[in-house]
Amino acid sequence: MDALSKRSLGFAGVSYDEAIARACSLAPVLRARAARGEAARVMLDETTADLHRTGLLRTMQPRRWGGMELDFVAYVDFPYELARGCASTGWNAANLLIHHWMLALYDERAQEEIWGADPDALIASGIAFPQGQARKVDGGFVLSGRWNFSSCVNVAGWNMLAAIVRDGERVVDHRMCLVPRSDYEIVDDWQVLGMRSTGSMTVVAKDVFVPAHRALCAYDARGGDTFPGARGNPNPVYRVPLSTLGGHGIGGVAVGNAQAALDLTVEAVKERSTSYVGLKMRDIQTVQLRVGAAGARIDAALRILRQDCLEGQAIAERNVIADPERKLRFKRNLAFAVGLCTEAVDMLHAMAGANGIYDSYPIQRIFRDAHSLAGHISFNTDAQFSTWGLAALGGDIVSPTL
């Protein structure tokens, strides 16, 4: 079957409403599998199959390659719904679907090389530029490095590995290098507190040649239409700046995880009464206050992330590039929203008292996942608040990838 025929069998005709219904229907299935996924420390084969079958990983892939090509807000909405069942699955889905979006930015030859062979191809990533080093050679770059936290790397056939390019000691470029599975080593070091079934293992590459068409310059992904794939993928959704809104999908996972905690708490409170005072738990004011405070935080977080994505898309539709202060505001908002979710989960988990330490307690995994995912650098309020504060106060921001 040729590439064009394979594309025609994709998900280009699937609407947002139909796709989100598929995501919602998967949430209880994922919740039932979560314990097995934790034990395996990777995304289960049946979960990967479900994500392929429903097309949820291809919500932001170009239609001409069989994807849905939905607006950027989908990057929050779909991981959010999946994370209501399992945060690790939502996290992996967020990464895999945004990598389809990112591949649309690359040279057409890279798209043909990957999607032409398999439109369902899965791509992992190592996003920390300082962890990779590259040098320019004839026809491309030679890449070496060690990248940790490469989520779902065990199921991916490709990886997007970030690298700093130097000329001597001088930094001259930042590249996202597409590397096939045969060119890097996976180190199984994923023994962690939470987010266990993401399989976010370490990747090692040494002196790997990456042709220029598979090495995207990060400066071309800062917004606007200068990226190599712009001619083939003119939809404004691909003009949204990567470094600015590229973390909002995994932020959506934090919100979905917190919403799961709220859903389970409400379900439990409705069923339980306390033996201490003979009241139903729902009639205890402190329970009401905690549920109300947690719910407000979760709702606020979701609205913040969705509004940022809608605003980013609107800016892209005008084919302009946001100024640094606005870009940093989006990054600030992401960290703030995830902080709200962590607070909400903590409030709800505390209601369990001593029962909350048991593996069998439904919110215990959610609590561990919330605190584990909160360690991502994109969610660090010290980093994100201070840089926006500097910009707002008129200071100089030095960030070539911004």
Q: Closest Cα partner for 353 from 285, 290, 270, 263? A: 290
Last residue of one domain, picked from the residues 97, 115, 133? 115
Task: Give the type of residue at 228.
Answer: P
Q: What digits encode the pLDDT tens for the residues 104-151?
A: 999 999 999 999 999 999 999 999 999 999 999 999 999 999 999 999
Task: Provide Rg for the chain, Cα atoms.
Answer: 21
Cα 318 versus chain centre, distance: 25
Residue 286 belongs to domain spanning: 242-392
The domain spanning residue 194 has which CATH number?
2.40.110.10
Residue 7 corresponds to which tokens in the numbers above?
């594309």
Work out the mean pLDDT of the chain and round it to a whole number: 95
Q: Kindly state whether residues 92 and 170 are assigned to the same domain.
A: no
End-to-end alpha carbon distance in the chain: 41
Task: Give the type of residue at 140.
Answer: G
Domain annotation covers residue 272: yes
CA gap 183, 180 in Å, rounded:
6
Last residue of one domain, picked from the residues 91, 115, 139? 115
Q: What digits encode the pLDDT tens for the residues 288-341?
A: 999 999 999 999 999 999 999 999 999 999 999 999 999 999 999 999 999 999
CA gap 364, 295 in Å, rounded:
18
Q: What digits encode the pLDDT tens for the residues 188-235?
A: 999 999 999 999 999 999 999 999 999 999 999 999 999 999 999 999
Question: For tokens 């600030």, what's the residue?
Answer: 332
Domain annotation covers residue 225: no
